[in-house]
Chain A
């Protein structure tokens, strides 16, 4: 599940108490005391582990010998050795085709899934924004995919996409869409499609709700005016709705994007051991705990962290996303 805080607390309603200064001081002291437990908790559970992960990526740590880790510099990332014969050998993460395949898989997955979710989410949001009978029912229905745990939806779809007994193959065969049964989750050609289907199904509702919240903030008289002027509805969508909903859309897209870039559970369960869908997170965990290459896995984790950080910064700067709620 992802939960997105859409806009930051603005200072608008914060108590602006310019009273006596010792009262002010008392409040300040209390504020820091109230913040302390949270700050300490986050430092222990997020800050410190992140520092350790980065540290391990510069060592030769192994799963059973974390304390005996020795500093080896950038060797886990890139190691260049010139043999006596003059041949140059490149080793390490940045020279590892498996890593670059994982990067490519992750980016492909993130871009495609978020694109589909945005389009479908927009359609669902526009439907929910219309006034019609049974709207409450539709909103309840679309919350169901969101409420189902990712692992459970992976298993449900794995069953529906089953090559022998799956209902998807049955329907597609009957409709003449395919000529023979497809092993959706196992075949290299379709594994990524399977992952995309499940992810889009599961997260479109979330996207739709965020876009809907944005749509509902557009004042109704704009549409009234457009209607009176006889503007075509499609033109209204491109010229009025989309520009006005853009800020909400940008925030929704970046949160989904960050979520998609770190995807692990769906792929781990739906298409295990499939090279076509192995993402950075899956590759990192595999190295950390299955291949006994703890330091190498730490390097992959660190790279993923860096990639996500860079993308966030670029997106926030270029898209001028304002998390502070227009302060």
Chain B
């Protein structure tokens, strides 16, 4: 009985692992196939050819799309962290009237449906002359990266002991000095985690990137992949598409696996107290 139970448990474990990993695995095998082999269903790699990868990497726009995504995501992360560190200090270490309300507002903004601000943002982006530039995306991505980073960093800073700060205050340190000299060195782990999560969010964003860019050169990776198509639905270049997908996903998967403990902690920021 105990053996059957154990066997069933491991069967369940196996199903979970296979279902999670298989689609990505299948994308990798597909990306290594060319020609008619593509249209044969194989569970194991039967052909190893890097033609799809060379064709993606030497294509006119794709390398540029990757650079766009990198530039936008990195800038968004730096901006969000800059704004969030100071805001989180105020929200976590200083008592003032309206603090809870402010925190709830920040949380509410992070739950905004993006479509609700799309029309207004479009007007704003066009009015500022940012349309079809990466800056339109850096600007608009603030709406989901900033509330999130503020929230997580506030949760983190709140848990730091009061004593370290008190010592600094006794020594006559100003709040700015406290942030930069006392908190920053303690906060690197939190900054790395939130930064990484914000980076992933920006890297994956689709709606704004689709709406605020018009030329192929300015597209970010998700839009480039989403809109890549052949002359008809029967001519979609699946091999190339899968190669592009693998290229943009592998770095993310590697990062997530390296930082998995921190990411899980960041996702469930502050623990579930309910």
Which residues of A are in contact with B by a Cβ distance under 8 Å? 1, 3-17, 19, 23, 26-28, 30-32, 34-35, 37-39, 41-42, 44-46, 48-53, 56, 66, 123-124, 127, 130, 132, 134, 137-157, 159-160, 162, 164-167, 170, 201, 205-206, 209-210, 213-214, 217, 246-248, 250-251, 255, 258, 261-262, 264-265, 268-269, 280-281, 284-285, 288-289, 294, 297-298, 301-302, 304-305, 308, 312, 321-326
CB of A289 within 8 A of CB of B211, answer yes
CB of B201 within 8 A of CB of A1, answer yes
CB of B120 within 8 A of CB of A50, answer yes
Contact of B139 among A45, A246, A265 (CB under 8 A): A45
Given A152-B222, A159-B27, A265-B207, A284 contacting B115 (CB threshold 8 A): yes
20 additional A-B residue pairs with CB within 8 Å, beyond A13-B159, A155-B241 = A4-B267, A5-B107, A7-B270, A38-B86, A38-B146, A49-B118, A147-B255, A149-B252, A150-B206, A159-B241, A213-B271, A251-B272, A268-B210, A281-B113, A288-B118, A298-B119, A301-B116, A321-B274, A323-B107, A326-B273
Residue of B nearest to A19 (CB): B169
Shortest CB-to-CB span from A152 to chain B, Å, is 4
B248 an interface residue at 8 Å Cβ cutoff?
A: yes
B184 an interface residue at 8 Å Cβ cutoff?
A: no
Chain B interface residue count, CB cutoff 8 Å, equals 116
CB of B13 within 8 A of CB of A14, answer no
CB of A156 within 8 A of CB of B242, answer yes
CB of A15 within 8 A of CB of B41, answer no
A305 to B111, CA, bound (A): 10
CB of A11 within 8 A of CB of B95, answer yes
CB of A31 within 8 A of CB of B175, answer yes
Q: Determine the chain A residues whose CB is within 8 A of the CB of B87 once the complex forms.
A: 34-35, 37-39
B60 an interface residue at 8 Å Cβ cutoff?
A: no
CB of A141 within 8 A of CB of B17, answer yes
Instruction: Tell me if B's interface is mostly helix, strand, loop or mixed.
Output: helix
**Could you say which of B23, B87, B126, B165 has the most chain A C-beta atoms within 10 Å of its C-beta?**
B23
CB of B83 within 8 A of CB of A38, answer yes
B74 an interface residue at 8 Å Cβ cutoff?
A: no
A247 to B225, CA, bound (A): 39
A269 to B225, CA, bound (A): 10
CB of B158 within 8 A of CB of A12, answer yes
The residues in B between 245 and 274 inclusive whose CB is less than 8 angstroms from any CB of A are 245, 248-249, 252-253, 255-257, 260, 263-264, 266-274
CB of A49 within 8 A of CB of B121, answer yes
